[in-house]
Amino acid sequence: MFLRKTNTQTDDELLRLYQATRDLEWLSALYLRYGSLVYGVCLKYLKNRDDAKDAVMQIHEQLIESLLRHHVSNFRSWLYVNARNHCLMQLRARKRKITEEISPFYMENDLEQHLEEAIDMEQSLVLLEKCIETLVGEQQHCIRLFYLEEKCYKDVADETGFDLNQVKSYIQNGKRNLKICMEENGR
């Protein structure tokens, strides 16, 4: 009976029910819809089935608290970004362990530089996600649809209900605000 009820509800409805009641059944029903997406993202980054399965469980556990702290307007996109960030953090932790075990005398300069660039890129992506979350709701929603979901202006307008000029304005202003946020945080 529970599953029949959740099949008719939207992601937003299930999310609001979880946030209002803190009942894990609502969250589990919502997470089940995207379990294969999360597993696919984790497998893509971690390249190991067992590690990917562990990451799927860890991400689910983290959602219990993080969904109570954050306003999420598009659960699927938000979950994708969280899964990707979780995997990138795991990869960064692995790289730290490797660099601690290998003496710097054995490393080539190019390899060391490449590793630093990869870590720097990852830190920039984490900062970018934090900056996206600081945007005004309309800007944030349009930026996520346009850049993360790779939708065209017309599709963004159709999905949000904004007219085409509003969408272009929200995206342009959102990009400017992201640039300011990134510069203020040293990137």
**Would you say residue 78 has pLDDT above 60?**
yes
**The predicted structure's pLDDT at residue 115:** 59
Overall average pLDDT of the 29-47 stretch:
91
Give domain 109-187's CATH number out of 1.10.10.10, 3.30.420.10, 3.30.70.100, 1.20.140.10: 1.10.10.10
**The predicted structure's pLDDT at residue 100:** 52
Model confidence pLDDT, tens digit, residues 83-129: 999 999 999 888 876 545 555 555 554 445 555 666 667 777 777 78
The answer to whether the pTM exceeds 0.85 is no
Helices 109-134 and 75-101 sit at what angle, rounded to 10 degrees?
Answer: 150
**Would you say residue 46 has pLDDT above 60?**
yes
Top-level class of domain 1-101: mainly alpha
Percentage of residues in the chain having pLDDT higher than 90: 39
Domain coordinates of the chain in residue numbers?
Answer: 1-101, 109-187
Percentage of residues in the chain having pLDDT higher than 70: 83
Across the chain, what does the average pLDDT equal?
83
Nearest residue to 65 via CA among 22, 36, 6, 10: 22
